[in-house]
Amino acid sequence: MRGSIRIQKPTAREILDKELVDQLIYSTKSDIDRLILELQARCGLRIGEVLKLRAVDVSDRKLTIHEPKSGRESEIAFMPEHIAKRLADYFVAEHIGPEERIFPVCYSTVGALIRRLAAKFHVKISPHDFRRHSATFASRNGVPLEIVSKVLLRHHDLKTTQVYLGKVNDTEAIRWMDMLHGK
């Protein structure tokens, strides 16, 4: 029996580049869709975390994630200023009360949005690909791995974060060597 079960190695996911992520986000038709995608792609949130957010969980540029995947009672995630402002404007426009969910949609609705966008741009993506992009984009732009891991993705272990990061190609390796040691 020992040799009869083959365990497949996980295949590396294709990491979305910034231009494609921006096109996907900016092609959405509603504020709610854009905010959901931006919270994932810019803040590294899981789709389940985004959909559970209530207005009371937002304080300036901080998001309180209740019952996160880590098993803790809560965690803090951070937002860029422009997303925090757009989110605040959205609260006012939609008259969202403090205890109301910010995004009153379910996972399957977001899945359908992602499938429509994927078809429009002829790519294969999942909601979690936006979180992977967030980690890889931060890493490729000089954010230390510890910050990507502990702050952006809120992982306990750096090894978990490394699974998220795309492979470094030769061009990128040379660019980093030039940045580190001059041309």
Length of the chain (residues): 183
Alpha-carbon gap, residue 63 to 84, rounded angstroms: 10
- End-to-end Cα distance, the chain: 57
pLDDT digits (tens, 9 = 90+) for 52-99: 999 999 999 999 999 888 778 899 999 999 999 999 999 999 999 999
List, for residues 123-160, the tens digit of each pLDDT value: 999 999 998 899 888 888 888 888 888 888 888 877 77
Please say if the pLDDT value at position 7 is more than 80.
Answer: no
Instruction: Say which DSSP state 65 is in.
Output: E
| Rounded CA separation 132/41 (Å) | 8
Distance between CA atoms of 103 and 106, rounded to whole angstroms? Answer: 8
Which domains, from first to last, does the chain contain? 18-181 (1.10.443.10)
Cβ neighbours of residue 57 closer than 8 Å, sequence gap 6 or more: 63, 64, 65, 66, 102
Which pLDDT band, with edges at 50, 70 and 90, does 101 fall under? very high
pLDDT of residue 117: 95
d(CA 16, CA 22): 10
